[in-house]
Structure 1
Amino acid sequence: MHAAALLPLWATLWRMYHNHDALSALLHCFYFTPQRRKAPSPCRAVAAPTSSTAGPGPAPAPAAALPGPEAAERRRRCRRCRRGAVGTDPAGCGAAMAAMPRVLNVNVGVLGHIDSGKTALARALSTTGSTAAFDRAPQSRARGITLDLGFSCFRTALPPQLGPGPGELQFTLVDCPGHASLIRTIIGGAQIIDLMMLVIDVTKGMQTQSAECLVIGQIACQKMVVVLNKIDLLPEGKRQSAIEKMTKKMQKTLENTKFCGCPIVAVAAKPGGPEAPESENPLGVSELIEVLKSQAYLPSRDPSGNFLMAVDHCFSIKGQGTVMTGTILSGSVSLGDNVEIPALKVTKKVKSMQMFHTPVTYAMQGDRVGICVTQFDPKLLERGLICTPESLHTIHAAIISLKKIQYFRGALQTKAKFHITVGHETVMGRVMFFSPAPADFNEEIQENDFDFEKDYLYQEEYLSKDSKSSEENKENDQSGEVQLPRQQWALLEFEKPVTCPKLCLVIGSKLDTDIHANTCRLAFHGVLLQGMEDKNYIETFLPKLKVYKLKHKEGQVERVMDDYSVIGRSLFKKETNIQIFVGLKVKLSTGEDGVIDSGFGQSGKFKIRIPDGLKPETKTLLTAASKKKSKAGKGDANKEDESSKNDSAQPVTITLLFKRYVFDTQKKMIQS
């Protein structure tokens, strides 16, 4: 091509370089789907009025020509209307916002046992597919099962309970795997949903992974719809009676859960099975959509605060950059914002964004969005979090409030290791359980708060009605009732650091359990209250945590020295340094209070001072025992006779009670 022919093209590109509006429009038209041209923004339409409406006077000044604050205000307004129109009339921007249809997004999880038809149901419901939707991955197609989270959506009219006015309701479907080995992925998917669909194979009923999904739903979700799938496999003559029978079974199963009374819908998402022709219409899907609309609610959505997004997929697009797709957990994000990948300590600028193939300039909590950045290797981030720079930190340990999952059969023991899931990340962690002091078992605990000024009681295991510690307490309690605290906590120590926000959901499980065993692998769930960022948290942080153990020692009074002192034995070992116990209070089984005064000899004996003096009956008992002991042993018969007499006499025992803080480096003994 002749150089002169290129001059008009270079001139056009030069003008676009200096014209922000034109360049912005070009980027919006050619991002991700260059073959699709975008309709002009309403904001831009009002920025260039026609001669019939403009009248005399100057045209609105472009943002670049305005003072800084005014230009910033126009950009802010346009980010709110999601049009990205810079340099337009603010009044026109507001008019564009009013003209835009309202779209409410609700995230719906599709969970259930493997091969119950979850992906087929998502395909039957959806009008738009997105990341990993409908088992697009070659590995999923080869194995015939879902291996990753799949995302798709469909829209419907806004139901009356969600408020008056025009608008649409968008259901974003999160298709979760069903295989037992993929429970980590299922847990991650369940934490980003507002509503849950539990898919049941009507010919098989509740199965192992169906039950685990139900448990996860109770932890992470507020509402549920049960879908009885594959009704086309039932004989047509007996179909209705079989559906009614399974419906009653499910109602019975759910009656002791938070989902008691939830809707149950019968469908056939793919009549004839996977090999059936596409012309086969699904059964019951329209009824299911109506039920979903009736169950939809206004989720908590707050655009303020720090931006936080759970990334579930990361991939590159040639010529565009790296795209991170996920669900926004808090805050909002706009074009041009800086976001941090805290696990990598990398900050990137948002180049462009899409929601289900539609370019947008703004997204907020609850939205599913793809964020494009440049110069970032997608292999470095498969799943994780991105956030406002420096708003998240990596922790090595954490304090959580927790509750045991009632279907877990094992004991929750201190020092045991569990798989700890936080967001999309699962790591091994060691636990230590503790509770309020026994006097505070019934005290009201402020939710999602932890008081470092209070004392807490160390527990060998989580206290529940069937725990060993509870049985011992029941035996010791005269009323025979098990005393359980209203709230219990755990210290989690991770084998490798975890990046997560405060007050996030934490799930503990035993994923090394045999997946073919008919048992619940989910052990406990809780809320992260306090994270420990310092790698040396054992020295720098844990001493602030006042968790104590109750220590109990018993010995015997050997003899009386005088009315105010006795000699004791069997409380300490021979090599024990008795000096560190001097001054501690003890109690005799006869009722007297005493104080350890000093050691006595080299065999572990010690002297006890009785401030109020010995009771006469105690002195008589001890004096008689000493005399019997001194007369013992001049013949075998006499020894046996004396031994039987000593055994029949009850010795006076000495009890030493104190508490020691677990993380006190000085190992002090504390008595109240």
Structure 2
Amino acid sequence: MTIVNVNVGLLGHVDSGKTSLAKALSSIKSTACFDKHPQSQERGITIDLGFSSFSLGLVESFCEQGIEGDVQVTLVDCPGHASLIRKIIGGAQIIDFMLLVIDVNKGIQTQTAECLVIAELLNKNLLIVLNKIDLLSDEKRVPMIEKVEKKIRSGLKGTRYHLAPMVAISANPKNADSPEGIVELIDALKKMITVPKRELEKPMVLAVDHCFSIKGKGTILTGTVIQGRLSVNSTVEIPHLKISKKVKSIQMFKKDVPTASAGDRVGVGVTHFDSKLLETGVASEPGYFGMTYAVIVDVRKVMYFKFKISSGSKYHISVGHDTVIGKVTLFKAIGNERLDEFSLDKHYEYVEELVSPAQDGDQLESTMALLELEQEIPTVEGDLFIASKLDVDINKPCCRIAFHGHILKRTVDKNYADTFLPKLSIYKWKEKEGLIDRVVNNREIIVTSLFKKETQMHPFLNLRVRLTTGENGVIKSTFGAGGKVKVELDTDLNEETKQRFTKKTRQNDSAPKEIVKVQLKFKKYLYNSNKTVKQ
């Protein structure tokens, strides 16, 4: 009988009861199930991804698409503690459906909101689980649940989850023999869950969440096949370590299998590999990933992020299970170019600050960024990234997820500052302002204060200028050694300009000649080593 695996994430604020719910739902424990990390037992919270599974049996919507086998749910228990959001982001990218667990006595909390943001930007369907209803008195239970549901609906207004179904449960009741509401939860899950999209023809990628040794069996990589197919005797590469290993066994929930496909939760035995070298990461078909030092990305600001996002600032950049520091340089396409049309042959305008969607949707649609990473990570073009400010005080009630998007271009060259950046045509608009120092004739003026004495003048010759009285001209040459230039006008000076200049001069020869200003606007390219300027 065909078994279809669906990965369901359990997300929510710390101590909302996610792990208790996983235990209540699960009938099969995997090798990485239920907080194997010793600190999890001591602190009573999940500090790593936990995995377990149970069967939904036949699901009507699957049968309607010709899939008449059992639907197996693999639960991905994501840590709820604020300092462990890296694990949440890594886990969220391997799941197909989300259960958002909320303590009915506390409602939406800080990490609840961040989990909602992650779910929304990953475009995942969501079922909301109101847990711990056993702590409500019998007479207050129904009205309290209704009150909380109403408040949550209000908080979700404006998101894609404003109509998300809610189920009230008690996963680990203190005064009952068994969990309450689990049957209703499973029924709701069966109605909502859909056949996941699997990319079987792409190169194999395994998201590794644990790595350990078993005496007599060697090293085991446990994780989820993100795309493609994996088989015994094939070779996988671990790009973080730049090594390749042969697959000698594959298990799916303690059963040996010859192959695994996208969506499957597996344990992979590899030969001659020290498990201490890898904690989390990826394994893939050899040569698929490149260790990346900088990327060009499209940018989507998270509406709940309340801090300024500006060029030159640094963020935690998460791609898969990797999170590294990256410096941001924002820029935008000119005209109506699409976000996914980045090209080294095109020119882009530097952006100082990212605007919010509510302020200027048009600018946001064309905003991209260069992310310079402090550590190399494996990527491919098209990968999702999430940028966060994880150094914000975790006790503050604010969203730390700043922006997200996809990798449009990457560089795997460690010396990218010398080889890749000079190819980027990103410019800033610059403005200079000078004064008419002398009128030579009706078509020629001498301008002062436009440049400093030490300025290299060659790049500015033949650039156009504009007088505040309306005339236009071209910088033709330098004049003397003090930074003055000679400007040739397109037309004769108008009478107003000549009168204003000569009147001031007649009244007081020593007075500053500030009557008419000369303005120069030009593009300065950020990464151009020869200091070329254009208009």
Q: Give me the TM-score of the superposition, normalised by structure 2.
A: 0.96
Residue 134 of structure 1 aligns with an amino acid whose one-letter code is F
Match in the other structure for 1:327: 224
Q: Find the aligned partners of 1:404 and 1:652 in 2 and give their Cα distance.
A: 43
Match in the other structure for 1:608: 487
Q: Find the aligned partners of 2:364 and 2:434 in 1 and give their Cα distance.
A: 32
- Deviation of the 1:485 alpha carbon: 4.5
Q: Find the aligned partners of 1:541 and 1:290 in 2 and give their Cα distance.
A: 54
- Deviation of the 1:258 alpha carbon: 1.4
Instruction: Tell me, yes or no, if structure 1 residue 417 matches structure 2 residue 314.
Output: yes
Instruction: Tell me, yes or no, if structure 1 residue 585 matches structure 2 residue 464.
Output: yes
Partner of residue 144 from structure 1, selected from 44, 53, 57: 44
Match in the other structure for 1:493: 372
Contact 2:442 / 2:492 at 8 angstroms: preserved in 1? yes
Match in the other structure for 1:232: 134
Worse-superposed segment, 379-388 or 621-630? 621-630
Alignment of 1:463-482 (within 5 A): 463-464=355-356
- Deviation of the 1:115 alpha carbon: 0.8
Q: Find the aligned partners of 1:622 and 1:322 in 2 and give their Cα distance.
A: 85
Contact 1:302 / 1:364 at 8 angstroms: preserved in 2? no
Residue 607 of structure 1 aligns with an amino acid whose one-letter code is K
Match in the other structure for 1:123: 23
3-state DSSP of counterpart to 1:215: helix
Match in the other structure for 1:659: 523
Contact 1:549 / 1:662 at 8 angstroms: preserved in 2? yes
Alignment of 1:350-429 (within 5 A): 350-429=247-326
3-state DSSP of counterpart to 1:484: helix
Q: Find the aligned partners of 1:266 and 1:431 in 2 and give their Cα distance.
A: 43
3-state DSSP of counterpart to 2:206: strand
Q: Which one has more relative contact order, counting CA pairs under 8 Å at least 6 apart? A: 2
Match in the other structure for 2:447: 568
Give CA deviations for 1:301-320 in whole Å, capped at 9, x if unaligned: 12112111110001111111
- Deviation of the 1:566 alpha carbon: 1.0
Q: Find the aligned partners of 2:459 and 2:403 in 1 and give their Cα distance.
A: 40
- Deviation of the 1:227 alpha carbon: 0.3
| RMSD, aligned α-carbons | 1.8
Alpha-carbon distance change, 520 to 591 in structure 1, aligned in 2, over 3 angstroms: same
Match in the other structure for 1:212: 114
3-state DSSP of counterpart to 1:286: helix
Instruction: Tell me, yes or no, if structure 1 residue 668 matches structure 2 residue 515.
Output: no
3-state DSSP of counterpart to 1:239: helix
Instruction: Tell me, yes or no, if structure 1 residue 456 matches structure 2 residue 348.
Output: yes
Q: Find the aligned partners of 1:264 and 1:506 in 2 and give their Cα distance.
A: 29
Which structure has the highest helix share of the two?
A: 1
- Deviation of the 1:119 alpha carbon: 0.3
Partner of residue 182 from structure 1, selected from 65, 80, 84: 84
Residue 363 of structure 2 aligns with an amino acid whose one-letter code is L
Contact 1:560 / 1:623 at 8 angstroms: preserved in 2? no
Q: Find the aligned partners of 2:151 and 2:435 in 1 and give their Cα distance.
A: 63
Q: Greater Rg, structure 1 or structure 2? A: 1
Alignment of 1:249-398 (within 5 A): 249-272=151-174, 280-398=177-295
Match in the other structure for 1:507: 386
Identity rate of aligned residues, in percent? Answer: 48
Q: Find the aligned partners of 1:129 and 1:110 in 2 and give their Cα distance.
A: 16
Q: Find the aligned partners of 1:483 and 1:324 in 2 and give their Cα distance.
A: 45
Match in the other structure for 1:620: 499
Give CA deviations for 1:181-215 in whole Å, capped at 9, x if unaligned: 11111111111111111101111111111111111
3-state DSSP of counterpart to 1:161: helix
Match in the other structure for 1:13: none
Where in structure 1 are there 5+ consecutive unaligned residues? 1-100, 471-481, 633-642
Where in structure 2 are there 5+ consecutive unaligned residues? none
Give CA deviations for 1:494-552 in whole Å, capped at 9, x if unaligned: 11111122211111111111111111111111111111101111121122211111111
Contact 2:324 / 2:374 at 8 angstroms: preserved in 1? yes
Q: Find the aligned partners of 2:375 and 2:331 in 1 and give their Cα distance.
A: 23
Contact 1:354 / 1:369 at 8 angstroms: preserved in 2? yes
Alignment of 1:38-53 (within 5 A): none
Q: Find the aligned partners of 1:330 and 1:193 in 2 and give their Cα distance.
A: 12
Residue 486 of structure 2 aligns with an amino acid whose one-letter code is K
Q: Find the aligned partners of 1:485 and 1:563 in 2 and give their Cα distance.
A: 46
Q: Find the aligned partners of 1:330 and 1:358 in 2 and give their Cα distance.
A: 21
Q: Find the aligned partners of 2:24 and 2:81 in 1 and give their Cα distance.
A: 21
Alpha-carbon distance change, 245 to 298 in structure 1, aligned in 2, over 3 angstroms: same
Q: Find the aligned partners of 1:622 and 1:663 in 2 and give their Cα distance.
A: 41
Match in the other structure for 2:9: 109
Instruction: Tell me, yes or no, if structure 1 residue 545 matches structure 2 residue 424.
Output: yes
3-state DSSP of counterpart to 1:135: coil
Q: Find the aligned partners of 1:292 and 1:228 in 2 and give their Cα distance.
A: 14
Alpha-carbon distance change, 375 to 125 in structure 1, aligned in 2, over 3 angstroms: same
Count of equivalent residues? 533
Q: Find the aligned partners of 1:271 and 1:382 in 2 and give their Cα distance.
A: 35
Residue 349 of structure 2 aligns with an amino acid whose one-letter code is L
Alpha-carbon distance change, 510 to 262 in structure 1, aligned in 2, over 3 angstroms: same
Instruction: Tell me, yes or no, if structure 1 residue 595 matches structure 2 residue 497.
Output: no
- Deviation of the 1:130 alpha carbon: 1.1
3-state DSSP of counterpart to 1:408: coil
Residue 553 of structure 1 aligns with an amino acid whose one-letter code is K
Match in the other structure for 1:161: 61
3-state DSSP of counterpart to 2:346: coil
Q: Find the aligned partners of 1:670 and 1:444 in 2 and give their Cα distance.
A: 21
- Deviation of the 1:407 alpha carbon: 1.1
Alpha-carbon distance change, 329 to 449 in structure 1, aligned in 2, over 3 angstroms: farther
Q: Find the aligned partners of 1:216 and 1:486 in 2 and give their Cα distance.
A: 20
Q: Find the aligned partners of 2:320 and 2:93 in 1 and give their Cα distance.
A: 7
Q: Give me the TM-score of the superposition, normalised by structure 1.
A: 0.77
Alpha-carbon distance change, 407 to 317 in structure 1, aligned in 2, over 3 angstroms: same
Residue 131 of structure 1 aligns with an amino acid whose one-letter code is T
Contact 2:303 / 2:357 at 8 angstroms: preserved in 1? no
Contact 2:459 / 2:531 at 8 angstroms: preserved in 1? no
- Deviation of the 1:465 alpha carbon: 6.2
Contact 1:196 / 1:221 at 8 angstroms: preserved in 2? no
Give CA deviations for 1:442-473 in whole Å, capped at 9, x if unaligned: x151x544222221101112233688xx7xxx
Alpha-carbon distance change, 241 to 466 in structure 1, aligned in 2, over 3 angstroms: closer
Q: Find the aligned partners of 1:435 and 1:460 in 2 and give their Cα distance.
A: 10
Which structure has the highest strand share of the two?
A: 2
Contact 2:332 / 2:363 at 8 angstroms: preserved in 1? no
Moved over 4 A (4+): none
Match in the other structure for 1:31: none
Worse-superposed segment, 424-433 or 218-227? 218-227
Worse-superposed segment, 222-231 or 279-288? 279-288
Alpha-carbon distance change, 163 to 533 in structure 1, aligned in 2, over 3 angstroms: same
Residue 307 of structure 1 aligns with an amino acid whose one-letter code is M
Contact 2:127 / 2:165 at 8 angstroms: preserved in 1? yes
- Deviation of the 1:146 alpha carbon: 0.9
Contact 1:109 / 1:175 at 8 angstroms: preserved in 2? yes
Give CA deviations for 1:351-390 in whole Å, capped at 9, x if unaligned: 1101111111111111111111121111111001100011
Residue 319 of structure 2 aligns with an amino acid whose one-letter code is V
